[in-house]
Structure 1
Amino acid sequence: MAACATLCLTVLGCSDPEPPPPEVLSVSAAGGAYLDAVCPVNAAWDAADLELDRLRLAAGRGGERLDARPLAEALRGVATASERAAEELDAASRRWPAGTEAAVESVLASLQDDAAQARRVAKLDADELLGYAWQDADVTGEAAAAARAALGLPEDPEAACAEREESGGAGGAGEAGGEAGGADDAGPAAGDPEPGNSGNAGAPEQAP
């Protein structure tokens, strides 16, 4: 009996401890956590916008073989940043304030969808990339706007990320890519302030 008790105590002592309860974020802390997650996605979109512009310029000049590899690499960067942001928004160690959960979950879902789409689009050739229309850009933009409103963040995503960077946050994306880039039309990463307003595509509104 004593041996059994010792064995039972040993087994119980080796069991994993219960995880701590999730931290319930205040609205201000939640806004900062949200920006830290999504602002790097904007920086990734900014890089993709730049490569798209370069590809357009090369296509406009003509007489040279188009190299889509830099844009494809930038789109894979968008996918990686979006996946990382989705993981941060879905962290089990914290809980979003009451009244904000649905808005954050919508952004999380759009990040996952955009990551999958970016990886697919990165496999296209140059002509296909130039003519690609980003899918569900309006849905992504609406989700981001709703999350900003729920978390009390500025309406302008570029300003929100810049303020977060100035305050020492991890956002670091003052020039927002996917949500607040240039107003050019066409292409998988053409970032309109209002997604989907341009001719071929608008990059999804991926900023806060």
Structure 2
Amino acid sequence: MGNLRRRETIGLLRNAAILLGFAFLASGCSQAEEPVEPEVLSASAAGGVYLDAVCAVNDAWDTADLELDRLRIGLGRGEGDAAALQAALREVASASKSAAAELSSEDQIWPSAAQDPVDKVRKTLIADQTQAERVAKLSAAELAEYSWEGSETISKAAAEARAALDLPADGALACTQWREQQDGR
């Protein structure tokens, strides 16, 4: 008789747990959160978001350019290890991917004058990511001779975006000023 009573109690507890689970589901406890309204960026905030994204890409490019110079010098001496440049190009790809995601975030709305220019930059970043991933696999000699595809388009898109965001025309200057502002200088 004791085992029968235990089985009945376990069965009742199991049924109660199932009913409680259904009650939670029906009450809406498991509903997804409502989407957050995108932030409408002011001109100055938009400039900050833009620079925060692209300055990291510029830094990655500075490193890649330095490593390309080192590789060319090494090849001129009969040496030449492509590993450092290949790693720098993978970093360019990674930074470009991150920047493109930041510029296309659904959490923000760009000022109307900047929306198209920033979108052009985003597209060039995606193209750069793809190209950098591909070029990072080249040999030392191929890397030394490689000419980056679309560099004029990239420069033009970046200049248009900086103008639309009322940033300095010189990208390096814009990033330097942005860093100084972020550092509280």
* TM-score of Structure 1 vs Structure 2, range by shorter chain: 0.7 to 0.9
Shift in Å, 1:91? 1.1
2:175 aligned to 140, 161, 184, which one?
161
Which 4+ residue blocks in structure 1 deviate beyond 4 angstroms?
6-9
Q: Paired residue for 2:127?
A: 113
Q: Is the 8 A contact 2:24 2:30 kept in 1?
A: no
Shift in Å, 1:12? 2.7
> What CA deviation, in whole Å up to 9, does each residue of 1:169-196 have, x standing for no partner?
7xxxxxxxxxxxxxxxxxxxxxxxxxxx
Q: Paired residue for 2:60?
A: 44
Q: Paired residue for 1:150?
A: 164
The higher radius of gyration belongs to 2
1:101 aligned to 101, 112, 115, which one?
115
Instruction: Provide the secondary structure at the position in 2 that maps to 1:92.
Output: coil
Q: Paired residue for 1:15?
A: 31
2:87 aligned to 45, 55, 73, which one?
73
Shift in Å, 1:11? 5.1
> What CA deviation, in whole Å up to 9, does each residue of 1:140-193 have, x standing for no partner?
111101100100000011110010001017xxxxxxxxxxxxxxxxxxxxxxxx
1:129 aligned to 143, 166, 169, which one?
143
Shift in Å, 1:13? 3.1
> Partners of 1:86 and 1:9 in 2: how far apart?
38
> Partners of 1:134 and 1:58 in 2: how far apart?
21
> Partners of 1:98 and 1:139 in 2: how far apart?
21
The two structures have a TM-score, normalised by structure 1, of 0.75
> Partners of 2:162 and 2:66 in 1: how far apart?
26
The two structures have a TM-score, normalised by structure 2, of 0.84
Gaps of 5+ in 2: 1-18
Aligned Cα RMSD in Å?
Answer: 1.6
Q: Which amino acid aligns with 1:148?
A: R
Q: Paired residue for 1:90?
A: 104
> Partners of 1:168 and 1:139 in 2: how far apart?
29
**Larger helix fraction of residues:** 2
